[in-house]
Structure 1
């Protein structure tokens, strides 16, 4: 293989810049914004650079895709430039929706960016071949883009690794101070500038010639036939065995099975697309037969997908994950019949419809974000109205004891809204601002525990696992703990199974007794004798489980997480900060305690 000269490398780079000026400029601007953000030290501050970065991330695949499309369809330089400038305007308008401070902002902004980026990348693949009858050309074009993308990324990884070692050598051998963040900035620069530029340099200039390609890599057939196909069969056996179990037990499918169904169908679709160029060859008739059966056997799985997702929706409402699972189910209801009944079976339909779907679910009142937020707000409204906390559209502080189930569900919705959308949708229910700094422009809302306290509730972070799991109870660290009456303290002790202190000597000893409910604590009195106490955690643990149930709970009142014992010569109090309990059915077994041990020893002599 001929190694290109330095002059050739620079000529290729210059040719790529002239061919894709706006895409490369976009990469430079986005990388510059990322580097400035990474270099920033101090508290997070609002900045337009987040908007620039998000726009640049979307802009690169869009501008590259428009350039590819213009070349393939021979639009001419004016039309090509005009379409790309329209793309710049489009991502600039999108950037206005990005908050200037992302730290602590709702996650839906990031999820929306991911969905739109997927759509833009798919557009770069399908754009040049929309309304084009060359299925073989599309396959080879996609293969070239994908392979070039992988190669560019790997080159970037190797380049970064080499330069990172060079920086480490300067730091360790010559004493040059290299802050750790420089390695991250180097990664951002290489993957933000070098990798996109190198990728574009490898895209053929004559896209028309791709349509006449007929070669097919033998390694790709081996990968599809001996790696992907066994995976498809494995998924198939597991899923149809599970369908048999459901029919036999007459029970609803579990929500997790939807992930396996989507994994099976995705793997099957990739297998179909990889083998598409050779499926018509006489020796590969098995591919056509197997592909048809793959789509036919997907129909019961799509039905099970809807049932599994609908069960979760009926219990807990719509979230982004459930919405997207249902959207993919609807997409499968379109694509699967097409490949069963269509004679043409154009594989372009798969990425093209996915591209369209990713844009459709990202904006508007039907979007994944709007529907999910409104579903959870409606769920929260029903819970609050049922418990007389929301009356005539206004929150009233709760004075009654709510059931553990309702408390967990309300806390769950507040946690979801805090993470994904903020509390803007429920702000009209409250007289005071739910934003942390009360500024209208701030995307930062109060903690869900603070919002729950406005309702008169104790916030509980819930794991949806009523039959088992881990209970984590955290004391409220905003309240002081009582330490009077004690003169010594062991700070931040972790008490777990077989925990021992002072086995090799010392004035204080303790160990956990079997069962994790009793701590045997001993302290040396004047004269050398040890006095010991057994501190029983069981009453406190049982009461906490009764009060807070199967959950992760913050801000438990400190007095509820205090254990003490004393006798004539020794008294001990343990201010617990955290308790971890394993719940299995009706059995609750402590795993670990964390807290401060306060004690006081009688100075008198021990027994003779």
Structure 2
């Protein structure tokens, strides 16, 4: 028993070493990513996100390059050229995102799509013109992924438990030690462990293999791509029946509502996308199974998938005319087209041709991230054109200036609100010279268009919830010079008005004052009154909160939270000088919650 354990550990160690030798450039990129993570752990105020994702992209590109070399080439010079190409593409990615001020949603989404496409390429390349099918290569990666997750989780828990025991029983450890341990496990061990499961797929260099070497290679590949018995049972007798029940429910809904809610129900859209992903994934996993459930699934479900996804894609396209095209709907429509193509391939092509869907996915992914037809360029142009056409139809846009007009239809008000909200949430407002930069602050929206924002349930602002927090680690001191008193306050929109207006007694130079909170509709004021209840200063807290939230937004991810300077707003008159320092401000559902300090100086 012990010998078997030792032998297994030895084989796995050999596998890890072989993975390092097979993917040397990938290992260098992973080491660089781990170094970046180490710097992020040590220096929490700096953002290294661009460098981190650059190295992740590089690791994936170099892994795909190695798979391509093993499948189609034999010479060292060819391997070096492929590795050089991966390095050049990685540098190209870095310079493409370097000019951006922050790693925003657009860059993040495009990076995510690129990562997904590279993973698909990693799976697909070994099956191109090979006796190994895409389904088998997918199964190998599928198993390797979950085994890696299991091992990495167990190792992480064990190491964290050891660190905790040392910290509690022997001597104190810096809390950052836990982060460094997890960094090593997930940045270095986990990817290397995963790659160690990649078998030596047959390639051009293996054409001359004979006898024992060929048998050994085929044995390793067969073991890697084989479907475990337990997984086969799970797919055949649990996942497939559950998918069948879900399909019946979806079909029933589509048939019952084909003339009504189906075309307008946006809640159904993510359900159908999830359904399509499930069917495609289960089909690929079931392609290597030959029991009755798997065979029936492969015969029936792709043909059911086609009409369901077709109807949903048409419904999504029809909504563009009314709501415009956002990057989210772009991807929904693009995925719908892909799912239809996948359904056709699964229905009318042999199982060995399933790799075609990987090629389609990679092409579609490239289309969605490369200008000028990428999701964000197309959606930005569409939303701006929709806004301009709506304003023009209502006589509100002349000579590149917006003329306020409150006497327009509610539908057009919603369209204007929705498009401006989308453009603002994506940071496109700065590029539109006829719109104010801070359009949703200080009443700018009403001043610009002549009416308050008008939302419907599906058109709520994507950034309707905002927050700002003071980073005490970066700003541990507050200058209280020249102030007489500090008062700690909470702004609670649900606080009873009589309690808020009662005021907090403040004694300065033997004189008694009261600091009152007045929350009246959308307005929030801090009012200081003297002993005779005469108002000395009216501090506009709502305006201050908006300014602080805007300061938080301007950080754009470069630093997580505010400094004292950015969290402070001051107002004064001839009698009083008052400043607030916001410990936190949260805005949600058109209400403000704040934890703040008020500093008061009587002149």
TM-score, with normalisation over the residues of structure 2? 0.69
| Equivalent position SS for 1:457 | helix
More displaced stretch, 267-276 vs 73-82: 73-82
1:296 alignment partner in structure 2: 303
More displaced stretch, 289-298 vs 23-32: 289-298
- Residues 546-575 of structure 1 show CA distances to partners (whole Å, capped at 9, x for unaligned) of xxxxxxxxxxxxxx56799xxxx9999999
2:250 alignment partner in structure 1: 239
1:151 alignment partner in structure 2: 147
- Residues 325-370 of structure 1 show CA distances to partners (whole Å, capped at 9, x for unaligned) of 1111222332222322234562222333212221222102111121
Partners of 1:222 and 1:155 in 2: CA distance: 23
Q: Kindly tell me: are residues 35 and 378 of structure 1, through their superposed partners in 2, closer, same or farther at Cα, counting changes over 3 Å? A: farther
2:190 alignment partner in structure 1: 195
Matched-pair contact (CA < 8 Å) for 1:50–1:99: no
1:320 alignment partner in structure 2: 327
Match of 1:401 among 406, 409, 412: 406
Say whether 1:107 aligns with 2:105: yes
Say whether 1:464 aligns with 2:456: yes
1:265 alignment partner in structure 2: 276
| Equivalent position SS for 2:266 | coil
Partners of 2:143 and 2:16 in 1: CA distance: 19
Partners of 2:141 and 2:488 in 1: CA distance: 62
Matched-pair contact (CA < 8 Å) for 2:390–2:412: yes
| Equivalent position SS for 1:277 | coil
Partners of 2:92 and 2:591 in 1: CA distance: 52
Provide structure 1 residue ranges, at least 5 long, that are not aligned to the other structure: 435-445, 475-488, 501-508, 512-518, 524-535, 545-559, 579-589, 597-608
| Equivalent position SS for 2:490 | strand
Q: Kindly tell me: are residues 305 and 452 of structure 1, through their superposed partners in 2, closer, same or farther at Cα, counting changes over 3 Å? A: farther
2:199 alignment partner in structure 1: 204
Partners of 1:453 and 1:574 in 2: CA distance: 20
Q: CA RMSD in A?
A: 4.5
Q: Kindly tell me: are residues 2 and 451 of structure 1, through their superposed partners in 2, closer, same or farther at Cα, counting changes over 3 Å? A: same
Partners of 1:295 and 1:5 in 2: CA distance: 41
Q: Kindly tell me: are residues 102 and 242 of structure 1, through their superposed partners in 2, closer, same or farther at Cα, counting changes over 3 Å? A: farther
1:254 alignment partner in structure 2: 265
Pairs within 5 Å for 1:136-535: 138-178=134-174, 180-205=175-200, 207=202, 209=218, 215-247=226-258, 249=260, 252-279=263-290, 284-285=291-292, 287-343=294-350, 346-392=353-399, 394-396=400-402, 398-401=403-406, 406=412, 408-423=414-429, 425-427=431-433, 429=434, 447-449=438-440, 453=444, 456-457=447-448, 464-465=456-457, 491-492=489-490, 494=492, 496=494
Partners of 1:54 and 1:457 in 2: CA distance: 39
Partners of 1:9 and 1:294 in 2: CA distance: 39
2:35 alignment partner in structure 1: 32
Matched-pair contact (CA < 8 Å) for 1:106–1:419: no
| Equivalent position SS for 2:421 | helix
C-alpha displacement of 1:85? 1.5
2:93 alignment partner in structure 1: 94
Matched-pair contact (CA < 8 Å) for 2:20–2:27: yes
C-alpha displacement of 1:249? 4.6
Matched-pair contact (CA < 8 Å) for 1:52–1:95: yes
Q: Kindly tell me: are residues 401 and 182 of structure 1, through their superposed partners in 2, closer, same or farther at Cα, counting changes over 3 Å? A: farther
Partners of 1:467 and 1:95 in 2: CA distance: 35
| Equivalent position SS for 1:3 | helix
C-alpha displacement of 1:294? 1.1
Matched-pair contact (CA < 8 Å) for 1:39–1:181: yes
| Equivalent position SS for 1:278 | coil
Partners of 1:288 and 1:270 in 2: CA distance: 15
C-alpha displacement of 1:122? 0.4
2:480 alignment partner in structure 1: none
- Residues 391-446 of structure 1 show CA distances to partners (whole Å, capped at 9, x for unaligned) of 23x234x454365655554343333223335335424x47xxx8xxxxxxxxxxx5
Partners of 1:86 and 1:473 in 2: CA distance: 43
| Equivalent position SS for 1:348 | helix
Matched-pair contact (CA < 8 Å) for 1:62–1:121: no
Partners of 1:450 and 1:395 in 2: CA distance: 19
Matched-pair contact (CA < 8 Å) for 1:139–1:277: yes
C-alpha displacement of 1:198? 1.7
More displaced stretch, 71-80 vs 244-253: 244-253
Q: Kindly tell me: are residues 211 and 460 of structure 1, through their superposed partners in 2, closer, same or farther at Cα, counting changes over 3 Å? A: farther
Matched-pair contact (CA < 8 Å) for 1:62–1:120: yes
2:513 alignment partner in structure 1: none
Q: Kindly tell me: are residues 379 and 352 of structure 1, through their superposed partners in 2, closer, same or farther at Cα, counting changes over 3 Å? A: same
C-alpha displacement of 1:286? 5.1
Matched-pair contact (CA < 8 Å) for 1:126–1:351: yes
| Equivalent position SS for 1:492 | strand
Number of equivalent positions: 496
- Residues 451-485 of structure 1 show CA distances to partners (whole Å, capped at 9, x for unaligned) of 9838933897775318999xx899xxxxxxxxxxx
C-alpha displacement of 1:315? 1.8
Partners of 1:148 and 1:195 in 2: CA distance: 10
C-alpha displacement of 1:113? 0.3
1:127 alignment partner in structure 2: 125
Provide structure 2 residue ranges, at least 5 long, that are not aligned to the other structure: 203-216, 467-486, 505-517, 544-588, 596-603
